[in-house]
Chains A and B, each alone.
Chain A
Amino acid sequence: MSTPVENDPLLREARELRWQLPRDFNDRLTEAIYAESARIAERTVSRRGSSRRLALHRRIDRVLTNPWTGFPVMGLLFAFVLWLTIAGANVPSGLLADLLLGEIYPWLRGLAMAALPAWLAGLLVDGMYLATAWVVSVMLPPMMIFFPAFTLLEDLGYLPRVAFNLDRLFHRVGAHGKQALTMAMGYGCNAAGVIAARVIDSPRERLIAIVTNNFALCNGRWPTQILIATIFLGALVPAALSGVVAAGAVFGVALLGFGLSLLCSWALSRTLLRGEASTFSLELPPYRPPNILRTLYTSLIDRTLFVLWRAVVFALPAGAVIWLVSNVQAGDHSLAYWAATGMDPVAVLIGLNGIIFLAYLIAIPANEIVIPSILMLTVLLTGQTGGEHAAGVMFETGDEGVHQLLTGAGWTTLTGVCLMIFSLCHNPCSTTLYTIYKETRSLKWTAVSALMPTAIGFVLCGLIALVWRSLS
């Protein structure tokens, strides 16, 4: 029913009429708008002397957006937020684990065992409750520190300065400077980052921003990074330094993600998505003192609880699935055993193990539940608990307990490092993939978004494992 542009009589008439108008009539209209605006503003706005406030903002901007000082300040701020999160989350995480896993879990288990058939008690308590409790104790404390800190920076007006600094880099790799903003959204949630790419006009640059958004660590992956960095890397150094080392490691992974997103943008804009980077104007808004209480409120209610709720909603069925695959027998062993041992050879080759692979398969709906899935599968498959009695002992000490559990299952520092890399480089969660499909309307680009990071993850982890093993 649609007619091509050149054949549409209305458009043809408009085009013919345009030829009869002065050639610069477009510009004349634009100029008229500008001239009127200037005239009205001149009549209504007056300035009382000079403003010290503006001068101060300019001085701050000179430091924050200077090529030499801007990047170090950015790095330090980001690393500081991470350190604050790791150092601050440790204690409440332990307390929550003590309560939910050490106290409530054995009590609930005893209660369920007495009242329900064993399979139902197992499904409900060992499956659904345990997965949810783990999600809450692992995710809630870091999120309660990380989100408000990030939101405060955002409300101050720092984010546009970050975009301004990074524009140079994005421009050089043939991407749009606003990709810095979409990445910033991605650090919260990749699905949101993909939608945010709508601010980019050019379809080519928008696709680049969408496909590479996954390299911005999202909500669901920060807790994984923080936990693994704390128990595997922070534990290598004296306790006083462990927070700094763990924060440094997470910062390194985030930086690697940023580097990979530049690299992939560069590769895409040289191959599949050729073209020039377009220019745009970015407004640097004034610094505004954030309303701290309001920021705390919105970041706690809107982000923290929202993300936690999503995690719990996905953890409940995932807990049930995990319990089922671990308890439904096929031959001599459970389904989970067959799957994990089947994938083990490939997984070990890249520094991971079959349980991690299985956990990533189960956790496709949400990255939030990767760690709980790994922990539960490890408990259920390696039989470390040995019944109610041992379970209580294991969950007593929070992070330390998790460390014991994982090393008991054969994890080394290499496993931790490779898991951190793999957590950065693997397929986006199903929500993000669906969003990518909705935004691009293309199965091809959805597939690229899933396969490219996963392939990079395999290569990177494989290289690390190879080097690590040849050195040790």
Chain B
Amino acid sequence: MSSSCPPSACESCAAPRGPAQRLGLDVSKSDHVVALAGNPNTGKSTVFNRLTGLRQHTGNWPGKTIARAEGGFAYAGKRYKLVDLPGTYSLRSASPDETVAREFILFGRPDVTVIVADANCLERNLNLVLQILQITDRAVLCLNLMDEARANGLEIDARRLARELGIPVVPCSARSGEGIPQLLAEVQAVASGAFQPSPYKLKLAVPGLREALARVTTALRARFPGLANEEWIALRLLEGDAAVGGLVTAGTLGRLTEDHAALARAAGGEGRVA
């Protein structure tokens, strides 16, 4: 299977090699915050366990992770805090578990969002990938369950996929550990700024939408200074998203920004949220 950079290039490049040092629940003084997002049952928790050495229970059924779980690992001299988010099919709905994922990616502003996708049903998984790329540039796609995809007779051109999406793509089988070193190297490259992804952005080909968005965005900026992703929020407001509307009326939109930033960067963290 091809990875985002050919093995020969990896050997010659300066990216540090070797396994990550698992820090388990110790998320103190993390240099970078990494979020794990993806559709349900794509193996996010398995990737989480691989990286942190924690043994969060994994289950072969969608909806297992309800709240987010946190753990830590160290790689190439930096300490990382990893946040396992509940699986979601979309960022456009508002059930309590999906809200957790959506608000963390929106307002927690992780340094890297690792999107875990099931290689067996890439097309459906891409729906969420494209939505996440609407709100963050700093993403890495972990193409998980490659062993199953091979057994199912599927072949995926990961380099082509990386070009199409504009972010690093790493084929993995988290259960056996295949691809995890490459995933770590890519996370490190994005987190440190050594690689700056320029993700594919969906074109909003609706007449009048640009202008409408610009007006709502301006109003949002005036009311919530320092808000992240105001354009995406504006789009949700135009679409009539009640949950986001609620955040605006309650005035918690700004506070969420601060809370999540504080939470994500807090020294010592609160550990695993069961």
B-binding residues in A (CB < 8 A): 1-5, 8-11, 13-15, 17-18, 20-22, 25-26, 28-30, 32-34, 36-38, 40-51, 53-54, 154-157, 159-160, 163, 178, 181, 195-196, 198-201, 282-283, 285-286, 288, 290-291, 297-298, 301-303
Contacts and interface: CB of A to CB of B under 8 A. Distances in A.
11 contacts: A1-B251, A10-B248, A14-B216, A15-B240, A32-B204, A43-B157, A44-B156, A46-B156, A48-B154, A154-B59, A297-B55
Interface stretch (B13-21, B61-69, B74-82): B61-69
A45 B249 contact: no
A298 B57 contact: yes
Nearest to A7: B249
Contacts of B67: 195, 198
Instruction: Identify the 5 closest CB pairs spanning chains A and B, nearest first.
Output: A41-B123, A37-B126, A201-B95, A14-B237, A17-B212
A33 B63 CA distance: 23
Contacts of A44: 122, 156-158, 160-161, 164
B59 to A, nearest CB: 5
A32 B127 contact: no
B269 to A, nearest CB: 21
A196 B86 CA distance: 12
B215 interface: yes
A263 B228 CA distance: 48
Nearest to A50: B153
A29 B58 CA distance: 34
Given A37-B130, A155-B59, A199-B63, A28 B206 contact: yes
The listed residue with most B CB atoms (<10 A of its CB), out of A14, A21, A41, A298, is A14
Given A2-B249, A14-B216, A47-B153, 8 more contacts: A13-B215, A14-B237, A37-B123, A37-B129, A41-B122, A51-B151, A198-B97, A283-B41
Contacts of B175: 291
A40 B126 contact: yes
A4 B251 CA distance: 11
Contacts of B34: none
B130 A33 contact: yes
A25 B245 contact: no
Contacts of B108: none
A160 B62 contact: yes
B66 A41 contact: no
Nearest to B176: A291
B126 A41 contact: yes
A297 to B, nearest CB: 7
Contact of A160 (B57, B61, B95): B61
Given A48-B155, A181-B63, A285-B62, A36 B202 contact: yes
Interface string B140-158: 0000000010011111111
B219 interface: yes
Contacts of A38: 123
B250 interface: yes
Contact of A47 (B59, B154, B208, B219): B154
A286 B149 CA distance: 11
A441 to B, nearest CB: 13
B209 interface: yes
A239 to B, nearest CB: 38
A21 B205 contact: no
The listed residue with most B CB atoms (<10 A of its CB), out of A2, A3, A17, A20, is A17
Contacts of B246: 5
Contact of B206 (A1, A29, A195, A302): A29
A26 B120 CA distance: 29
Nearest to A46: B155
A40 B249 contact: no
A282 B200 CA distance: 29
Given A32-B205, A48-B153, A199-B97, A157 B249 contact: no
B256 interface: no
Given A13-B219, A18-B238, A21-B206, A181 B152 contact: no
B101 to A, nearest CB: 12
A157 B61 contact: yes
B223 interface: yes
Contacts of A51: 151-153
A11 B251 contact: no
B6 interface: no
A21 B239 CA distance: 10
Given A45-B122, A53-B151, A21 B212 contact: yes
Nearest to B164: A40
Interface string B35-58: 000001100000000000001011
B257 to A, nearest CB: 16
A44 B206 CA distance: 28
Nearest to A282: B62
Contacts of A201: 93-96
Interface in B86-145: 92-97, 120, 122-124, 126-127, 129-131
B152 A3 contact: no
B167 interface: no
A37 B205 CA distance: 16
Given A37-B126, A50-B153, A302-B57, A198 B66 contact: yes
Contacts of A13: 215-216, 219
A291 B93 CA distance: 34
B270 to A, nearest CB: 16
Contacts of B158: 44
Given A2-B251, A11-B249, A49 B153 contact: yes
Contacts of A291: 175
